[in-house]
Chain A
Amino acid sequence: MHDGSGESRSGRWWYALLLVSFVAVLWVPFFNRVEPEIFGIPFFFWYQFLWVIISALITALVYLKTAPRTHHDPLKPRAANSTARTRSRS
């Protein structure tokens, strides 16, 4: 069964990772504090800056894990490859 999106069912679990960023930056009581400071920068600030980077890395990871190009479905090797080729130019 090909669903047309090139995503396998197990691949969809990667999407759950995206929720982590929401919890991390919306749970205010956890990071609303001054200590520990780094180079005089209160926790409140460096924690949120850090999550800019972590969240971007998570999104990149989910992209790499769910994009058909890296997904080796033994039944559909050609379909996956040609998708990658037609898209790579853009």
Chain B
Amino acid sequence: MNWVAFSVFVVLFAFITVLGFVAGHWRRGDLGLIDEWGLAGRRLGTFITWFLLGGDLYTAYTFIAVPALVFGAGAIGFFALPYTIIVYPFVFVVFPRLWSVAHKHGYITASDFVQGRFDSRPLALAVTVTGILATMPYIALQLVGIQVVLAGMGIPTGGFVGDLPLIIAFVILAAFTYNSGLRAPAVIAVVKDLLIYGTVLAAIIVIPIELGGYGKIFASAPLSKLILPTPPAGSYGSYSAYATLALGSAFALFLYPHSVTGVLSASSRRAIMRNSALLPAYTFLLGLIALLGYMAIAAGVGTMPSFAGYFHRYGPNFAVPALFLATFPSWFVGIAFAAIAIGALVPAAIMSIATANLFTRNIYREYFRPDCSKGEETEVAKLASLVVKFGALAFILFLPQKYAIQLQLLGGVWISQTLPAVVLGLYTRRLHRHALLIGWIVGIVVGTAMVASLGFASSVYPLRILSITVPCYAALASLVINLAVTVVLTWLFNLGRAARGRDQTTELDYQEATP
């Protein structure tokens, strides 16, 4: 048991617990309103939005899993970089429109928008269910990040006692989210970032010095891990896998409910546009963290006997904790591990709030209590956020971890299928609502079948186009099929003069308000 690291860890954790509760008083609003609890009153400026979205999108799981992928599989893990480069030009163009229309009509979820735009309850329900299902395993995976660092500090794992620290961490998270709403992760995200940036800066300076410089680090990785393998004849191999993983993930990222929550809590569309230019700072950080995977290879942590048990239990996910344990003094290990654990709480809080918003607005109010009061709406959302979190906790405690990982993989495929309704819907209403719904169903079925055919172990499906094999991210391949179905059926539905419903919005609602 590493007492020094654990003490530092506990002190930092206690600090953010207090902060989480105090956050409710920051820029005080009526927390009995869902806009205030679930979107922090839509008052977050450019600066806080930067921290909030940074903490929201670059999760602890990312910080563990990306270097783990580089450590285990090599350069393909680096697709996280192009992915989080191109997502911002996309966000810059598209999401200010969502912010404006949501601001104008009081939408708090993507489903609210789809309902208002296409006047279709089934389509809005499809978007809601997809959002909830895709987010739940994502929350569960944040716990994996906490689990790994707790184990790294020598806390005995297994049994109820072994699970206790994780349960305590989650009770704390649940309590301050319930109490303070979105303000809690917004404030904690600032502290988390100071810790993460500090840790990573130390890591990329100190570790290369100990290992003899960057040249040595890269030289110690085999060429097969250093760059992508050249595709074999008749296939685009890892090249198309790399590019489609990046493109498909970029399209999916901002469709997730927690991203939408982050976008809508901004105080203006300008705050989102500015952040599209500022958030790449986190991408740079993520790239540096990915390099930790190569440092772990160079340090040889995979063959150190003292870590053998952990690698056996956690796989490559233990690469970064092992690297820190092998190179840093105990007190700094405590800081680094606290950064990872707190980095898990921020997205977990935002994800549970976003899921709660979806459930309350688009299921509870829509189908069960259409005339519920604003106070009741917020109370249900707060309770729903508790249910979601303890559901995720139970998932991790009682089911094998690989299920969470596989479901998260599928979640990316599923959430991509809402792009036609949500993103294209921001620009045009030409696509027919029934066509969008059927396209969504086809996309989900095809995408799931692709991942299933790979034994749920990978999401890169080897498409055969003419005589060439094109390994392609299943989310992107199924999205293309979804779009094709939607376009063809739109034409058919229009031919049959199927009713199109009433559009709540006008083109002006999507643009910057003129004074």
**Which A residues have a C-beta under 8 Å from some C-beta of B?**
2-6, 15, 18-19, 21-22, 25-29, 32-34, 37, 39-42, 44-45, 48-49, 51-53, 55-60, 62-63, 67-68, 79, 82-83, 86-87, 90
- For the complex, is B171 an interface residue (Cβ under 8 Å from A)? no
| Cβ-closest chain A residue relative to B508 | A4
- For the complex, is B10 an interface residue (Cβ under 8 Å from A)? no
- Among the listed A3, A25, A42, which residue makes an inter-chain contact with B226, where contact means beta carbons less than 8 Å apart? A42
Interface residue ranges of B469-490 to A (CB < 8 Å): none
Q: Give A87 to B223 CA distance when docked, in angstroms.
A: 51
Q: Is the CB of A59 within 8 A of B218?
A: no
| Cβ-closest chain B residue relative to A64 | B277
CB distance from A53 to the nearest CB of B (A): 7
Interface residue ranges of B8-64 to A (CB < 8 Å): 45-46
Interface residue ranges of B278-316 to A (CB < 8 Å): 278, 280-281, 283-284, 287, 291
Q: Say yes or no: A56-B88 contact (C-beta < 8 A), given A5-B511, A40-B214.
A: yes
**Which B residues have a C-beta under 8 Å from some C-beta of A?**
45-46, 75, 78, 81-82, 85-86, 88-89, 92-93, 213-219, 223, 226-228, 230, 238-240, 242-243, 246-247, 267-268, 270-271, 273-274, 276-278, 280-281, 283-284, 287, 291, 507-508, 511-512, 514-515
Q: Say yes or no: A26-B246 contact (C-beta < 8 A), given A4-B508, A55-B86.
A: yes
Q: Is the CB of A26 within 8 A of B243?
A: yes
Q: Is the CB of B247 within 8 A of A26?
A: yes
| Cβ-closest chain B residue relative to A44 | B227
Q: Is the CB of B239 within 8 A of A29?
A: yes
Q: Give A5 to B247 CA distance when docked, in angstroms.
A: 28
CB distance from A73 to the nearest CB of B (A): 12
Q: Give A15 to B93 CA distance when docked, in angstroms.
A: 8
Q: Is the CB of A52 within 8 A of B511?
A: no
Provide the residues of chain B in CB contact with A62, threshold 8 Å: 92
Q: Give A39 to B216 CA distance when docked, in angstroms.
A: 10
Provide the residues of chain A in CB contact with B271, threshold 8 Å: 90
Provide the residues of chain A in CB contact with B92, threshold 8 Å: 18, 59, 62-63
- Among the listed B45, B93, B213, B246, which residue makes an inter-chain contact with A90, where contact means beta carbons less than 8 Å apart? B45
Q: Is the CB of B228 within 8 A of A87?
A: no
- Among the listed B75, B238, B247, B514, which residue makes an inter-chain contact with A6, where contact means beta carbons less than 8 Å apart? B514
Q: Is the CB of B82 within 8 A of A32?
A: no
- Among the listed A3, A21, A40, which residue makes an inter-chain contact with B216, where contact means beta carbons less than 8 Å apart? A40
25 contacts between A and B (CB under 8 A): A2-B514, A3-B511, A6-B511, A19-B89, A22-B86, A28-B242, A29-B239, A33-B227, A34-B226, A39-B213, A39-B215, A40-B215, A40-B216, A40-B217, A45-B218, A52-B81, A52-B280, A59-B89, A63-B276, A67-B273, A79-B515, A90-B45, A90-B267, A90-B270, A90-B271
Provide the residues of chain B in CB contact with A19, threshold 8 Å: 89
Provide the residues of chain B in CB contact with A49, threshold 8 Å: 81, 284, 287
- Among the listed A26, A45, A82, which residue makes an inter-chain contact with B86, where contact means beta carbons less than 8 Å apart? A26
Q: Is the CB of B280 within 8 A of A56?
A: yes
Q: Give A24 to B242 CA distance when docked, in angstroms.
A: 13
Q: Give A46 to B180 CA distance when docked, in angstroms.
A: 42
Provide the residues of chain B in CB contact with A4, threshold 8 Å: 507-508, 511-512, 514
- Among the listed B82, B217, B219, which residue makes an inter-chain contact with A26, where contact means beta carbons less than 8 Å apart? B82
CB distance from A54 to the nearest CB of B (A): 9
Q: Is the CB of B89 within 8 A of A25?
A: no
Q: Give A31 to B246 CA distance when docked, in angstroms.
A: 15
Assuming A19-B89, A34-B226, A90-B267, what are 17 further A-B pairs, CB within 8 angstroms? Answer: A4-B507, A5-B511, A5-B512, A6-B511, A18-B93, A21-B85, A26-B86, A26-B246, A28-B239, A40-B215, A45-B287, A48-B82, A51-B82, A52-B85, A58-B89, A59-B276, A59-B280
